[in-house]
Structure 1
């Protein structure tokens, strides 16, 4: 089915063809078009739906605006693509829901079959299995993604921590930053906004998502590795110790995700994430059976090798132990 055919099929299912809402006809292009040129917007009381036929769908300015509108109106933002599209990490991490058209519909991140109820795409209550396209092999060999998420209090130079961490992981600072894709600014750690904001920073095979909200900063840094390449798991404790010594952080969780080295996501199953370790500011003891190590101002609890999802149980046990001794302090 061609790009135009699948979009017309979706619009027919949504009842949009009768309203005259039809995506622009395909036409020769020498460059990749902006997102809005290939997007058909369909609005109901429950959802705002975008149909996008790009190979890679980013968190564009148009989608970021739609997310804000949906938040204020109580709608769901649902992005519909074909099964050949991928989405970027910033879009995946947003509140948009990814719906894939392939002999029906399914949720791109979970494989859960979906159906249109006249108002919004919802889970198909009659489905008993994942969507067939979700179970198909990935288009490239599955690599790995090292993901570090930390919480801290914002500092004067809001990009200092992420710059330091990217240098440790990749040898280079971020190249650029922005609030939507493509990024608008060359990197300068002093230029990040002082207001509450969600910022994207991109480096060498790395993406960072920084969220500033009130007196807190939560940052996720992901680095992609090709199949056969080994992430620096053994070096993580020393890296975290160096980061925390120069730039205090409250906590840091390290995990390993199976996925593409370019950090985009296909609408197919690639495996489950698994924990590597948890670092917490201060001196702590773990529950029985947990080893620990001081890393400057932090305590590091190794949780697994990054390849064993069952170790999330150890993560929950450790958090329960720490919460019971710290009056529910969030990590």
Structure 2
């Protein structure tokens, strides 16, 4: 059984009551767990954590259970209650499954994975105690060395859950790497892919033939001296380009017609108490899909309906610390963005990475659509720069452990202030075959640089690099 289990219920469960029912000693064993911590751990007689249970999360965004678990979800709103069992301990996995099944049975709902719903057998809980998780505890970490924290995930999509988000912060504060180990069939959420730092952090995929490989580069890996390193490496150094690549990663797949349109942009706003954040992202979303985002949150699943006011309030509450958010679309038009809001000397910056997915027969936005979205950003939302790419990749936006190929430039946009700061006509007179188009007022325009945008032709990157060198005066 997988060690992660989730109960999806229409009614808010009371995890402590369920835990009390599981423990032989009853509610007395739960004394002291009603503290500020959102996680309760079931521990054995030696104090070893067996199962960690998180506080229920109210999800009001349609499609998140299907996107992240492949599960059929109740109508929104519903409650998402997650438990995680310690790796390799059968009793812990049985206890987590029984907990989720009983939650679903008592308040009405379903348990994921499906086999957890059949875990209603009596579990021996002699010696098990429920205690608050200590402040330094990291339920997501399975192995901790002096170099990395290792997280083992056996679920369809590794998402930026509250547990995993905590693990990212903890390893960053400790100066460690984070290595996520998954079976071959698991994929990453773009939110996790975009947050995974550089070496020694990596996504480690189990493979029957090659043992382990890096899910993003394909490099064959081995465990050595407290972390996964590339096969053939004698010590922990960045990958040698001659490192063997796993066959499972490099095997070619037929073009099934699925595409992604990727948009990354930065907007820099003057610091103002009346500033409303998130408007730039909403504007792009509306121009490219005809509707606003469906929901947002500080973790996955994204649980809050889209709201500029609530998003802005959260960012102001966290100032001067930066705010990281995930934003999602509807199942009918898959879209996912990560947003980082930070206060800098230049003002308030919004860094956005956004992607939309399209299946066979669905039309990717045209050049006119992208131009219109860019003009709205440039004229109304303090755009600094914007890069649009198109690529052959999954419609559901998840990242598989195989080679998908890079995106190719579709368009680049330089904000009006950046155009003004460049000397002379440098921004307008470029080495590209097509001149840029002006966006916005003629006295202070932004510039739109189009590229062919053919996902089968990587030559567009050479043109993009020429443009960047030109704009930098190199």
TM-score, length of structure 1 as denominator length: 0.85
CA distance in 2, matches of 1:58, 1:153: 29
**Residues 211 and 219 of structure 1 are in contact (CA less than 8 Å); yes or no, is this contact kept in structure 2?**
yes
1:153 counterpart SS class: strand
Deviation of residue 50 (structure 1)? Answer: 0.8
| Residue in 2 that maps onto 1:314 | 463
| Residue in 2 that maps onto 1:261 | 395
| Residue in 1 that maps onto 2:378 | 244
- Unmatched 5+ residue regions in structure 2? 4-85, 102-109, 117-136, 234-241, 420-426
- Unmatched 5+ residue regions in structure 1? 5-19, 326-331
Q: 1:141 to 1:289 in 2, by over 3 A?
A: closer
| Residue in 1 that maps onto 2:212 | 105
Q: Which has the higher contact order (CA 8 A, sep 6+)?
A: 1
Deviation of residue 3 (structure 1)? Answer: 6.3
Q: Within 5 Å, give how 1:44-123 maps onto structure 2.
A: 44-95=145-196, 97-103=202-208, 104-123=211-230
**Residues 203 and 214 of structure 2 are in contact (CA less than 8 Å); yes or no, is this contact kept in structure 1?**
yes
* 1:197 counterpart = 2:346: no
**Residues 230 and 243 of structure 2 are in contact (CA less than 8 Å); yes or no, is this contact kept in structure 1?**
no
Structure showing greater radius of gyration is: 2
Deviation of residue 303 (structure 1)? Answer: 2.4
| Residue in 2 that maps onto 1:270 | 404
Alignment equivalent of 2:249, drawn from 134, 150, 153 = 134
Deviation of residue 158 (structure 1)? Answer: 1.0
CA distance in 1, matches of 2:336, 2:390: 15
Deviation of residue 99 (structure 1)? Answer: 0.9
* 1:167 counterpart = 2:315: no
CA distance in 1, matches of 2:151, 2:158: 11
**Residues 283 and 373 of structure 2 are in contact (CA less than 8 Å); yes or no, is this contact kept in structure 1?**
no
| Residue in 1 that maps onto 2:452 | 304
Q: Within 5 Å, give how 1:215-234 maps onto structure 2.
A: 215=344, 216-234=349-367
Deviation of residue 147 (structure 1)? Answer: 0.7
**Residues 357 and 394 of structure 2 are in contact (CA less than 8 Å); yes or no, is this contact kept in structure 1?**
yes
**Residues 42 and 50 of structure 1 are in contact (CA less than 8 Å); yes or no, is this contact kept in structure 2?**
yes
Alignment equivalent of 1:150, drawn from 265, 286, 308 = 265
TM-score, length of structure 2 as denominator length: 0.60
1:183 counterpart SS class: coil
| Residue in 2 that maps onto 1:182 | 301
Q: 1:137 to 1:313 in 2, by over 3 A?
A: closer
Deviation of residue 189 (structure 1)? Answer: 1.0
CA distance in 2, matches of 1:245, 1:222: 22
| Structure 1 stretch displaced more, 140-149 or 292-301 | 140-149
Q: Number of aligned pairs?
A: 307
